[in-house]
């Protein structure tokens, strides 16, 4: 099992109520509900992905996160997940601010644009392509990419407390030495809460 799932799983209590913003095909929620008997709901805006959620038996709501996430507040969610989706929204700052009105804790994963291979790609004068960022610049849904430093700064400025964090390599395995994470991590995995 990839460490990404392992880390995220640890943060999710059995039987909790989960909202997965940008849930894709719903496989993560499906996994979680099999392992931890959670009550999960996905939010997705892409028809093909919604269809796959239904096929996977995952509850999904057709909704564009850019239209806001505040409407999910007061729904008793324990944890909100945004796995590699924060960089796809038009206003990440607003989403980050609103997300803690939805649940007290939130799990956010970001592809790190400071990763050395990406820097190398840019050094070559091209938009970088990697395992975590596989699409060409004109096809990607990622419109607000950031580095680990950038993300943590945004959290700090928005009164978001990073409770725990992990850095992963391209294969989703934990990086033991976090000293130069902004250079060597392909992905950051965060558990955040209110300050």
Partner 1 sequence: MAVSLEIISTMEKTRKILRKSQEFHFQNGKSISQFELAYDTYGKLNKAMSNCILVCHAFSGSHHAAGKFDNDEKNGWWDEFIGDGKTIDTNKYFVVSVNNFGSCFGSSGPKSICPETKKPYGIDFPDVTVLDWVKSQKILMEELKIPHWEMVAGGSLGGMQALQWAISYPDIVKKACVIAATAQSSPQNIALNEVAREMIKKDENFHDGNYFEKNAIPKVGLMTARMLGHITYLSENNMQKRFGRKKQNPESKVETDVIYEIENYLRYKGDKFSEIFDANTYILMTKAMDEFNICGDNENDFQLILKKIKAKLLIISFESDWLFPSWHSKFIQKNAMKVGISSSYIELEGSYGHDSFLFASDEYCNIVENFLNFNDG
140: contact with partner 1 by CB under 8 A: no
Size of the site for partner 1 (CB under 8 A): 21
55: contact with partner 1 by CB under 8 A: yes
73: contact with partner 1 by CB under 8 A: no
Of 57-65, 82-90, 104-112, 143-151, which segment contacts partner 1 by CB under 8 A? 57-65
Give the C-alpha distances (Å, rounded to integers) separating 26 from 11, 32, 45, 50, 187: 18, 10, 12, 8, 20
- Taking a C-beta distance cutoff of 8 angstroms, is the pair 45, 51 a contact? no
CB of 79 to partner 1, least distance (A): 14
39: contact with partner 1 by CB under 8 A: yes
Of 60-68, 80-88, 134-142, 154-162, which segment contacts partner 1 by CB under 8 A? 60-68
62: contact with partner 1 by CB under 8 A: yes
- How far apart CA 34 and CA 21 sit, in angstroms, is 19
**Long-range CB contacts for residues 46-52, cutoff 8 Å, separation at least 24:** 49/23, 49/24, 49/25, 52/24, 52/25, 52/26
- How far apart CA 100 and CA 135 sit, in angstroms, is 30
**Which of 2, 75, 163, 183 contacts partner 1 by CB under 8 A?**
75
**Which of 9, 11, 31, 56 contacts partner 1 by CB under 8 A?**
56
Beta bridge partners of 190: 108, 165
CB of 9 to partner 1, least distance (A): 20
**Which of 7, 29, 41, 111 contacts partner 1 by CB under 8 A?**
41
- Taking a C-beta distance cutoff of 8 angstroms, is the pair 95, 65 a contact? yes
Secondary structure letter of residue 150 according to DSSP: H
- Interface residues with partner 1 (CB under 8 A) are 17, 39, 41, 47, 50-51, 53-63, 71, 74-76
């Amino acid at each position: 099992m990839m460490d990404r799932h392992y880390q995220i799983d640890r943060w999710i209590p059995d039987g909790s109520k989960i909202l997965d913003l940008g849930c894709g095909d719903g496989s993560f929620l499906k996994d979680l509900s099999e392992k931890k008997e959670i009550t999960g709901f996905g939010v997705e805006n892409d028809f093909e992905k919604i269809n796959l959620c239904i096929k996977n038996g995952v509850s999904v709501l057709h909704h564009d996160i850019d239209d806001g996430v505040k409407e999910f507040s007061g729904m008793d969610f324990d944890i909100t997940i945004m796995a590699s989706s924060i960089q796809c929204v038009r206003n990440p700052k607003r989403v980050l601010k609103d997300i803690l009105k939805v649940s007290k804790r939130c799990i956010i994963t970001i592809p790190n644009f400071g990763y050395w291979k990406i820097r190398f790609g840019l050094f070559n004068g091209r938009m970088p392509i990697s395992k975590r960022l596989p699409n060409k610049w004109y096809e990607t849904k990622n419109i607000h990419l950031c580095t680990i430093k950038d993300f943590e700064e945004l959290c700090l400025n928005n009164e978001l407390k990073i409770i725990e964090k992990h850095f992963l390599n391209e294969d989703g395995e934990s990086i033991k030495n976090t000293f130069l994470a902004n250079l060597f991590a392909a992905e950051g995995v965060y558990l955040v809460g209110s300050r």
